[in-house]
Structure 1
Amino acid sequence: MTRTDLLPSAAARHLLLNMTPNGSLGRDGKKLFVVERGDGAYVVDADGRRHIDGLSGLYCCQLGYSYAPEFAEAAERQLRELCFSPLWSSSAHPTGIELAERLSRLAPVDVEHTFFSGGGAEAVETAWKIARKYHTLRGEPGRVKALSRRGAYHGLTLGALSFTDDPGLKEPYGPPAVETRFVSNTNRFGLAPEFADDATYTAHLLAELEAEILAEGPETIAMLIAEPVQNRGGCITPPDGYWPGLRALADRYGFLLVADEVITAFGRLGEWFGGDRYGARPDMVTVAKGITAGYAPMGATLVSTRITEVINQPGVVLNHGYTFAGHPLSAAIALRSLEIMERDRILESVRDLQDHLAKRMGSLTALPIVGDVRGAGFFYALELVGDLDDGGFSDTARAALVVDLIPRRLREAGLLARVYNRDAPLVQIAPPLISDRQLLDRIADIIADTLDEASRALPAH
């Protein structure tokens, strides 16, 4: 028996996977999908089958898998100079300093400082603690609540989980660490026709938010966190004026505005920061995933001068940190990733191709099973509708199509995409930013063929 044959059973015996019913893999682990290597925009599984990575390794691998020699060279150079030194207790290292300076030149207006972490949830936790520190130092320790949006996902650590709107993820762990109120996200699918107008919809959303702020007491709100395009619920884009409206409310009532860009930063929407596309002017930005193009773990919280002018007062200690935050190896890889993206004009390529992808994805609304298509850049979701009068799925149709046929056919056709089995089932893609027109067409064709088959199998009602 080869090593490849042994891997699934070894995983079943010893490996606990993220967000997975591990006990359902079976003792032999035969239900486990093992990825062995990558090549361009493709990955190859343990059986030698080649798949388009239509999700960029969970939104991380912006550059695909063919830049390994360049990243290896950057890593080797860094390891020969310095393998590790913490950003801790008045100590730093050159690579971390260089990356912080580089990020300040890319970040939104007035965002000049970076606090490094190990990933996205840690970056979100950091934003919360900095917000609390900021308000306390300004004499407002009563700002202990957060605002988030319905259906949002901001991480699974206990602090970040507070801002995540998913009872199934939260209830097993008791009351949330941070008192959080949830307001509507910006998904207008299925809403009244008047909300098709951006000005009307934006005014409605901001009025609801302001009412919630006033009901809770503005003096109790520390921050509002939102993604420029909300991932959970299916690539939910904002209407025009929404982010400037959030900025105005934050200024009026004194809370901080946090843009969670763990997914949307570093080119996913054709900009270094996705919020720039929508006029966002946040006080803090959380990033991870694409900052290193998936070649190393790293997260970061980018902080505005408005905040650092308060928390950087002489004698004030920022009593928060992570041992491996800003690890020299991860920082070196992040710097190389940014260099490659500029050199190879990755953002420009996304901007050149985004309209073509939008057109291809938009055409799928002609299929009976597709209720809505939404997204931007290289980030799209299709919301599926089923056999019930309200557009939902009966248990039979959900099991046959959403759980079985659609994910199976996509995989058999050589496409890794995300198929959500939730209240509103979704098919989502976030292809590598190196994808060309031909590959985007292939992705769209596979989805079209799969959903056409699913439409024909949809029970009549």
Structure 2
Amino acid sequence: MSPHAEAAGKHLWMHFARMHGRDGANPIPVISKGEGAYLWDDRGRRILDGLAGLFVVQAGHGRRELAEVAAKQASELAFFPVWGYTTPPAAELAERLAHLAPGDLNRVFFTSGGGEAVESAWKVAKQYFKLRGKPLKHKVISRMTAYHGTPHGAMAITGLPAMKQDFEPLAPGGFRVPNTNLYRHPEFAGDAEALGRWAADRIEEAIRFEGPDTVAAVVLEPVQNSGGCLTAPASYFARVREICDRYDVLLVSDEVINAFGRHGVPFACAKFGFTPDILTCAKGMTSGYGPLGAMITSDKVIEPFLEPGVTFPHGYTWGGHPVSAAVALANLDLMEREDLYGHVLSHADAFEATLKKLTDLPIVGDVRGDGYFWAIELVRDKATGETFGAAERERLVKQFLPGALFGNGLYCRPDDRGDVVIQLAPPLIVGQAEFDEMEQILRATLTEAWSMV
């Protein structure tokens, strides 16, 4: 065992990971280097990064120009808060994001990451309605299986009971509606438009059930992450926008994963045909070369906060960190200069077609997604769509797939927070050669997994 793996096994509290038994027979993997779309561990093995770290590294690993920008900014001004002040990078990035965002999303509140951005959005929504004389409007409606973050407020918006149960009671006010998983709604016979109408109507129904005077916001992702890259037609989002306007409810687009090129555009809501009142983002803003998130609000939402004497009593020490903001500006420049948005749009069909070759395997029930964000749903019975029981999930998702995929040279995400899926979201620089490599590794690993079933 390497000294780093040994030290981590004794002292590192890992995130979202089991820590029992991480000894010489099962050491914690140590990732020591990244270059382009590839990672190397401390044994010298090369692994294709099929998840962009954690939906983050849009521009790829080892981009020296981003590291140099960070070093230059740190040498000039390493830190100063935006608590009543600004720094040049924070001011410039706020302006840049306002110009990139659709509609009148013009005001940027910086956070350290995505969960904080969602937390901030809920707090803004509640204070916004208090300032407007509607103090009862505080509830939030989100979708089943959706994940929106780990802070207590963001977790209350999250639609994953198993993730919440150890921390309950959470902040009151979170309510759930159905998501848009077409594969798991066979009654719609593959008609995404019909499913979209039905699912949007459930949002209106929930608002009416709870009372429009008590509902502050609807929070949704343009492509829902948890549950496996769940898409919806543009008509769904248009209908949700109409419902929110009718009942004076703020629409929040959670784009912590979806933004910054994952779907071939700066912000996915524009691709899917709607403009929210609040947008949350993080991850790909810096391509992972610095921690940073943001909540972007419309002119309507910021208006009551600009009245004399009004303060939003909320903030984060690291929000708008000058080094991260400088890196974000350089990363956005790089993405535009190398046309990574266009690269995703021109290669997304090939990525889809390559992954859909796997549908000939008996364990693959569905392949779905958009852009460079795809999920493969695994099933026990392809004819009926039967999923796996608890013991099989434990064996496949927790024990076999992560190590087998990594050992075969692919880092991606087996996930059973909803149905059993493998998620793929590689750096935006990859092309057909990497698509083929992913497909070949997945094919070999899933063939072995099926033999276990």
User: Normalising to structure 2: TM-score of the pair?
Assistant: 0.96
Amino acid at match of 1:237: T
Question: Mapping of 1:160-179 within 5 angstroms?
Answer: 160-179=154-173
The answer to whether the aligner puts 1:230 opposite 2:224 as a matched pair is yes
Aligned to 1:149: 143
Q: For the Cα contact (< 8 Å) 1:269–1:376, is it kept in 2?
A: yes
Answer whether contact 1:244 1:281 (CA < 8 A) is retained. no
Q: Which residue of 2 aligns with 1:57?
A: 53
In the other structure, the counterpart of 1:443 is 438
- Work out which of the residue numbers 171, 176, 181 in structure 2 matches 1:182: 176
The aligned amino acid for 1:451 is L
Q: Distance in 2 between matches of 1:393 and 1:324?
A: 42
Residue of structure 2 equivalent to 1:429: 424
Matched, 1:210 2:204: yes
- The answer for the alignment partner of 2:32 in structure 1 is 36
Q: Does 1:249 align with 2:246?
A: no
Tell me which residue corresponds to 1:80. 75
State the match for 1:48 in structure 2. Answer: 44
Alignment of 1:204-353 (within 5 A): 204-353=198-347
Per-residue Cα deviation, 1:54-82 (whole angstroms, up to 9, x for no partner):
01001111111131x20122122212321
Greater displacement, 77-86 / 402-411:
402-411
RMSD between aligned residues = 1.8
- The two structures have a TM-score, normalised by structure 1, of 0.94
Structure 1 residues 281, 35: CA separation in 2 closer, same or farther (over 3 Å shift)?
Answer: same
Summarize deviations over 1:304-352 as a string: whole Å, max 9, x none: 1111112112221111111121010010000000000001111111111
Gaps of 5+ in 2: none
Decide whether the 8 Å contact of 2:145 with 2:418 is kept in 1: no
Question: What residue number does 2:6 align with?
Answer: 9
Corresponding residue of 2:18: 21
For 2:404, the equivalent position in structure 1 comes to: 409
TM-superposed CA distance for 1:151, in Å, is 0.3
Match of 2:141, SS state, is strand
Asked if the contact 1:289–1:298 (Cα under 8 Å) also holds between the matched residues in 2, the reply is yes
Paired residue secondary structure (1:322): coil
1:23 partner SS: coil
Per-residue CA deviations over 1:285-308 (Å, capped at 9, x if unaligned) read 101110100001011001111111
Distance (whole Å) between structure 1 residues aligned to residue 452 and residue 196 of structure 2: 35
- Separation of aligned partners in 1, 2:321 and 2:308: 26
Matches of 1:421 and 1:103 in 2, distance apart? 34
Q: What is the SS of the residue equivalent to 1:271?
A: coil
Residues in 1 aligned to 2:355 and 2:286: alpha-carbon distance in whole angstroms = 28
- Give the partner amino acid of 2:17: T
- How far off its partner does 1:118 sit? 0.5
Give runs of ≥4 in structure 1 deviating > 6 Å.
none
Q: Which moved more, 1:249-258 or 1:396-405?
A: 396-405
Tell me which amino acid in the other structure corresponds to 1:83. Answer: A
Alpha-carbon distance between aligned partners in 1 of 2:390 and 2:250, rounded to the nearest angstrom? 43
Deviation at 1:30, TM superposition (A): 3.9
Letter in 2 for 1:86: P
Cα deviation, residue 425, structure 1: 1.1
Query: Matches of 2:168 and 2:141 in 1, distance apart?
Result: 19
User: CA-to-partner distance for each residue in 1:229-251, whole Å, 9 max, x for gaps?
Assistant: 00000011112301111110110
Amino acid at match of 2:410: L
The 3 A distance-change label for structure 1 pair 397 and 77 is closer
- 2:436 maps to a residue whose letter is D
- Kept after mapping to 2: 8 A contact 1:127/1:284: yes
Q: Return the alpha-carbon distance in structure 2 between the equivalents of residues 405 and 387 of structure 1.
A: 19
* 1:368 is the counterpart of 2:362: yes
More divergent stretch after superposition (233-242 vs 396-405): 396-405
| Letter aligned with residue 177 of structure 1 | A
Q: Are the equivalent residues in 2 in contact too, given 1:146–1:178 (CA < 8 A)?
A: no
Number of residue pairs aligned between Structure 1 and Structure 2: 452
1:385 shift after superposition: 0.6
1:111 and 2:105 correspond: yes
